[in-house]
Amino acid sequence: MKSLLGSNIKELENIALNYGQATFRGRQIYNWIYNYRNKNKNIDQIDVLPLDFRKKLKDDGYTVSELNFKQKTLASDGTIKLLLSTADNESIECVGIPTEKRLTACLSSQVGCPMDCKFCATGKEGLKRSLKASEILDQILFIENEMNRKVTNIVFMGMGEPLLNIDDLLLSIRSINEDFKISHRKITVSTVAIPKMINKLSLKSFQILGKCQFTLAISLHASNQKTREMIIPSARNYEIENIIQDCKQYVRDTGRRVSFEYLMLNGVNDKLEHANELSNLLKGFQCHVNLIQYNKIDKVEFQRASLKNLQSFQYRLSHNGIPVSLRKSRGLDKNAACGQLRQNVKNK
């Protein structure tokens, strides 16, 4: 299959030329995909194109969308989680998180994930494969169609480790920016952190995108190496101090501050001593900490930290001069944790 989604205007014009069509046919496809964000994603339905051109594209294996809708859950706060199936019959999840002014799409970058974070349903299943840029972008169209409004912000915090799919990640970011018209600054790439890849991310971003202005969010979740390895076993390959050094280099290279995600787990990482340790680790460079409330999942022993611990932790970081905010937990009531909907459907 060859997806038209993810192709820019020049590439679509060239496809049209290759079929003996005028270049404006390429622009018609571009408008149909990106500007009208048409609900119908079948080439047959691009009715501005001549029938024989549509047929040739189809016969040659072109598609607009390769994903199919499988299931949806809607939380009381309006958050939706979609389960989509791929052409090779795998399942991926994406989430639409609405507020009055924003619609944030939380996207998956892989089918499954090899990182094995102990708090995550996706990590329990291992990695099946990485997603193509077109499959990443298609999730945006599904969310927009379900929610009947345009996505304004993107977070790569769904299934998978984005830095293990760096080429397709950056190709999708290019299209999100140029074709979906979402600014780089409204895109967040979240990673557990892979040795050498933080540096590679900024280098490749400058090569492919000409800049590196999206937000890098590190899923830190601990204030020391021992606790981090307990929560994220794959962290044994990358010392926490080395992550911080690489992040400092990233700030120097890009001029962008780094976010640190910190999942508050009862009795594991939520004490004041951890807040002090984290402050010492992070002091002295441009960063921001997001504290996150944990959504409990089946067969995982971790519990959500109390609100009292969470607030004390936040206050201590702030008192120590570390910029910090508390991320509101959204869609809590329905399979909101990463990979949970997919796991529930599989279990059935």
Q: Closest approach of Cβ 149 to ligand SF4, in Å? A: 26
Q: Which residues 189-228 are close enough to bind ligand SF4 by CB under 6 A?
A: 192
Spot the catalytic one: 13, 66, 93, 261: 93
Supply angle C-alpha 47, 51, 56, rounded to 5: 120
Tokens of 341: 């909907």
Q: Which residues 259-318 are close enough to bind ligand SF4 by CB under 6 A?
A: none
Rounded distance, CA 255 to CA 212, Å? Answer: 9
* 171 near ligand SF4 (CB under 6 A): no
**Residue 78 or residue 233: which is nearer to ligand SF4 going by CB?**
233
Tokens of 3: 């997806």
* 115 near ligand SF4 (CB under 6 A): yes
- Residue among 64, 97, 106, 120 that touches ligand SF4 (CB under 6 A): 120
Name the residue whose CB lies closest to ligand SF4. 123
Tokens of 39: 């609900």
**Count of residues that interact with ligand SF4, criterion CB under 6 A:** 12
Place of tokens 């939706």: 80
* 162 near ligand SF4 (CB under 6 A): no
Q: How many CB atoms lie within 10 A of CB 74?
A: 14
Tokens of 177: 């920016």
Q: How many CB atoms lie within 10 A of CB 225?
A: 16
User: Are 318 and 275 contacting, i.e. CB atoms less than 8 angstroms apart?
Assistant: no
- Residue among 218, 338, 341, 342 that touches ligand SF4 (CB under 6 A): 338
Q: Which residues 44-73 are close enough to bind ligand SF4 by CB under 6 A?
A: none
User: Are 151 and 144 contacting, i.e. CB atoms less than 8 angstroms apart?
Assistant: yes
Known catalytic membership, residue 93: yes
Known catalytic membership, residue 247: no
Place of tokens 């990695």: 127
Residues labelled catalytic:
93, 338
Binding site for ligand SF4 (CB under 6 A): 113, 115-117, 120, 122-123, 159-161, 192, 338
